Chain A
């Protein structure tokens, strides 16, 4: 018996060494400096000029009353490989530290090795739930540096696809959030509706997820024949079904109890932490880049910016649900106002010749070959372009040294920044509420880790 005990203790040490995150992880209370404790629980308060309350329950707790457990990296409700180290007192969360980087693949470094045309293939894999937003932010940055005009039709198609993608992204969120709260039927419905949109993406771009559809200078392809009917069906179906979700979730007493008043955040806290998107809007700040700093043709369509009041889980849910409806509204207007014309710029510097000409003209063939092997040079400069992705401000900071590849490609990922609100929101809540916090922040780990 005792022999067994010794063996398991011996085994524990290498295991702990293997799974330890070192300084990145959450340290035991007796090893944590007062300043770090203060940072974890009071970062936001300090920014407002307030000091950490010395009577705070968290500070005056003994080490042997608490325990640190890992949630993740492979926990199903963490939406990817997110590892949360929680310090628990019984069932209540005292401190939280997200440990990220499990999905880090160096995409910013890879972006420096790829030409500007190939770059869209790279960035589309960052936020894999809303790929169009990534491509759009990147391509708008490249186009700003190139100072080229995008045709009207391309602009509207980009807007149409962005909004369809926003619907798909929020539907996935509704589905996974439902699953986190035990509403497994929502899981099935959310993915069912998203499938409609993905089928349309496949028809248009040839791919379902990592579309590589938005390219510098325009789009990879025009919309297919009969796209109006498909989009009409998507709009009608999804709009109708949002009311079914209302019945399933919004009015459901258990769901409301789990969401209402849970994990509130104030506008000051959200702004101090750099949080954007639905989480910021849930606090009542009407900040939506589509409205406040319009890009594409968002100033020509009619839609409402949905804001919340309490900044709690329920507000974040209600905002996303209503944003699906607003996206339907925008898509319907795109359907009405879609202009005719080119789907990509006719600037030969960035656009290959039409396929039909390649067969008959040697110059066109060389042009096509050069464009896809060497790429095009982009004038020296640096630019930051930001758009409203389903998760918040998605920025792309691009530095060009005049060559055919970006000198530096940095993506300001909304999930990465919003993740900083997790310790604040989880504090004092129960473990069950911690799950809903991760869910309503809606981090996409591909984008967090890049």
Chain B
């Protein structure tokens, strides 16, 4: 109806947030993301950047998840960011500023590996375990990197793009055969 009102209703901040003063130098950012600031640190910049955001008032690690870009390699990234197959996406939330920030780290191709956020945000523990379980992304410094949703003896990481649906046949107990 009225575009101004609807923009207000988007439920996020539309202005671009500056990087915190203590952020490591040279972090690529993007303003093109819908309503949040996007940062694209290298794995080495990742934990220092999150730390600087935490010191800058982002109290809550709202979300952490992995993405497997195997089937969608040509995604838009800022200049200088080398796309890898796996990406870890972290959403931080500041209660005091009412802002969100999204951090996308290129985690690697064959053996994705990142430092854990556990020391900064203990609440990322379960989410990192989930990313490990479903994508096989390793987090250095995580105290208990075990499977969380899948059984302990499960093979493979089911949300990877090369793990097809129906790969494991489901045998229903005593299901009647086709006559």
The winner among A44, A47, A100 for most chain B CB atoms within 10 A is A47
A100 pairs with B9, CB closer than 8 A: no
Q: B111-152: which residues lie under 8 A (CB-CB) from chain A? A: 118-127, 130, 134, 143-144, 146-152
Interface size on A, residues (CB 8 A): 66
5 A-B residue contacts at CB 8 Å?
Answer: A294-B11, A295-B9, A295-B10, A384-B100, A416-B127
8 Å CB interface, A275-303 against B: 275-276, 285, 287, 289, 292-297, 299
Q: Does B61 contact A (CB under 8 A)?
A: yes
Please, which residue of chain A has its CB at the minimum distance from the CB of B147? Answer: A24
Q: Select which of B62, B148, B158 is within 8 A of A24 by beta carbon.
A: B148
Contacts of A285 in B (CB 8 A): 95
Interface contact A24-B152, CB-CB below 8 Å: yes
| B147 and A412 contact, CB distance less than 8 A | no
Interface of A is mostly: mixed
Task: Kindly state whether residue A397 has any CB partner on chain B within 8 Å.
Answer: yes
A293-B11, A450-B149 known, 18 other contacts, Cβ within 8 Å: A36-B143, A36-B144, A101-B149, A101-B150, A104-B149, A108-B134, A109-B158, A275-B123, A294-B8, A295-B10, A381-B33, A386-B11, A387-B11, A393-B62, A395-B91, A399-B67, A412-B63, A416-B126
List of A residues within 8 angstroms of B152 by Cβ:
21-24
B91 touches A412 (CB 8 A): yes
Which residue of B is nearest A275, CB measured?
B123
Q: Does A203 contact B (CB under 8 A)?
A: no
Chain B residues within 8 Å of A151, by CB: 1
Answer yes or no: B81 CB below 8 A from chain A CBs. Answer: no
Q: Are A299 and B67 in contact (CB under 8 A)?
A: no
**B12 pairs with A293, CB closer than 8 A:** yes
Q: Which of B1-36 contact A (CB under 8 A)?
A: 1, 3, 6, 8-12, 33-36
B9 touches A380 (CB 8 A): no
Provide the residues of chain A in CB contact with B100, threshold 8 Å.
Answer: 384, 386
Q: Which residues of A contact B68 (CB under 8 A)?
A: 408
